[in-house]
């Protein structure tokens, strides 16, 4: 077996738009009503994946979802032509592109039955995302269909909100070794909702068969949520033995750090002090919504948005960090500005799965050649731009549907992913 961390990125869909549907997401609210550029967005995401492949990382994909979600509209007693504007926008949402919210993953080395467990996220807090999980689950069941290696679970039932891996971290000495799984939940963010419920996190730990001594439940700070950290991955990220976090990410960081060190003595905690980088600057730059990865030579790199370079306090701190003797040795800025404008950075766009690539359906794994093929389809079929008032237009919907059908057919998945 060859156990690796695989990053599955969501291909940004042809209905990518700025409807401002995500309450508590400052970037989404700030750009509500702006003209979006689905083609540029998808090509930026593909280029990020291409960069990961060139770094020597194993790369996977998830497909966009069929839009508009006709089944959801039907259950609401309407259709795309007659729905109220906010309902129509929710039915057209391309937010499944943020694959970090697709599911929570526990690798085989952590689970009681020795299989990798995946629980699809219910995303019940936000209406525009609450209807994603059936199509996400369908993809997971195709990509991870080998039941000897994987167990794919239905979502935790409402009302317990679960937002997937965006509120879950795993720390371990090495990816293929047993780890400590950290479930981060929220209680209150003042004007903004806390999206991850502690009962959802506890349910997933039980369903995955985790050792209670190696599953930590940690509360995200109200300050972080109120500042716009709608998910934990906006203020903290982990990779192997390293936790990279903002000083104000957690309600009781001292207790969390102590518990983490007791469960994993080799852990290295890299904490960014608020005196150097404010919560506001951390969230505006998406400093922590980065992919912290282990390169083939064993060193760690931080794949982060180019916006981090635009804020002097953030970039100065990062340059000082990599100049020192810490575990993070390389900075890799990437341009995902179309995603960032809707509130999702490099980490939002990917779901990490530790597994043997040989056990995964190869149609969901990519190299540079396959990425070039996908990019060519995007360049030909994805809309160049979408204005909010266009979302219900029949011509735009026909183009979005044709784009999806062409991509799914090219990837030879049309027989497995029914509409």
Give the catalytic positions in this structure.
163, 231, 348
- Give the whole-angstrom CA distance, residue 280 versus residue 223: 10
**Alpha-carbon distance 165 to 87, whole Å?**
26
Contacts of 255 (CB under 8 A, 6+ apart): none
Reduced to 3 states (helix: H, G, I; strand: E, B; else coil), residue 404 is: helix
Beta bridge partners of 111: 210
User: What is the rounded distance in angstroms from the CA atom of residue 279 to the CA atom of residue 116?
Assistant: 35
> Phi, psi (5° rounding) for residue 188?
-155, 145
Name the pairing type of β-strands 116-120 and 103-106: antiparallel
Tell me the angle at which helices 394-410 and 368-381 cross, rounded to the nearest 10 degrees: 160
Alpha-helical regions (H) of 274-340? 279-285, 307-310, 312-323, 337-340
CB 401 within 8 A of CB 394: no
d(CA 352, CA 232): 15
């Amino acid at each position: 077996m060859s156990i690796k961390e695989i990053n599955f990125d969501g291909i940004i869909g042809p209905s990518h738009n700025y409807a401002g549907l995500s309450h508590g997401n400052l970037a989404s609210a700030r750009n509500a009503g702006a003209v979006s550029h689905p083609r540029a967005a998808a090509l930026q995401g593909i280029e990020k994946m291409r960069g990961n492949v060139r770094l020597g990382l194993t790369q996977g994909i998830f497909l966009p979802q069929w839009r508009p979600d006709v089944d959801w509209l039907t259950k609401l007693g309407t259709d795309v032509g007659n729905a109220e504007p906010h309902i129509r926008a929710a039915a057209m949402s391309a937010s499944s592109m943020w694959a970090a919210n697709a599911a929570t993953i526990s690798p085989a080395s952590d689970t009681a039955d020795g299989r990798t467990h995946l629980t699809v996220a219910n995303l019940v807090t936000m209406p525009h995302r609450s209807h994603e999980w059936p199509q996400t689950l369908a993809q997971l069941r195709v990509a991870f269909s080998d039941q000897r290696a994987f167990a794919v679970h239905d979502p935790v039932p409402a009302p317990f909100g679960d937002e997937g891996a965006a509120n879950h971290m795993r720390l371990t000495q090495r990816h293929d070794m047993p780890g400590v799984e950290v479930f981060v939940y929220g209680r209150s963010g003042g004007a903004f909702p806390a999206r991850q419920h502690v009962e959802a996190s506890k349910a997933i730990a039980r369903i995955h068969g985790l050792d209670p001594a190696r599953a930590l439940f940690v509360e995200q700070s109200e300050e972080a949520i109120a500042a716009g950290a709608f998910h934990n991955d906006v203020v903290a990220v982990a990779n192997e033995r390293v936790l990279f976090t903002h000083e104000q990410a957690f309600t009781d960081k001292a207790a969390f750090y102590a518990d983490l060190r007791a469960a994993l003595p080799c852990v290295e905690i890299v904490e960014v002090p608020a005196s150097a980088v404010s919560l506001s600057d951390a969230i505006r730059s998406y400093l922590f919504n980065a992919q912290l990865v282990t390169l083939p030579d064993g060193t760690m790199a931080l794949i982060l948005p180019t916006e981090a370079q635009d804020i002097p306090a953030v970039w100065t701190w990062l340059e000082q960090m990599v100049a020192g003797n810490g575990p993070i040795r390389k900075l890799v800025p990437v341009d995902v500005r179309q995603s960032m404008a809707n509130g999702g950075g490099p980490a939002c766009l990917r779901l990490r799965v530790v597994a043997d690539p040989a056990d995964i359906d190869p149609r969901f794994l990519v190299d540079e050649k396959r990425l070039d093929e996908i990019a060519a389809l995007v360049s030909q079929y994805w809309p160049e731009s979408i204005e909010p008032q266009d979302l219900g237009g029949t011509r735009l919907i026909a183009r979005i549907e044709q784009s999806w059908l062409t991509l799914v057919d090219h990837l030879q998945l049309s027989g497995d992913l029914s509409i």
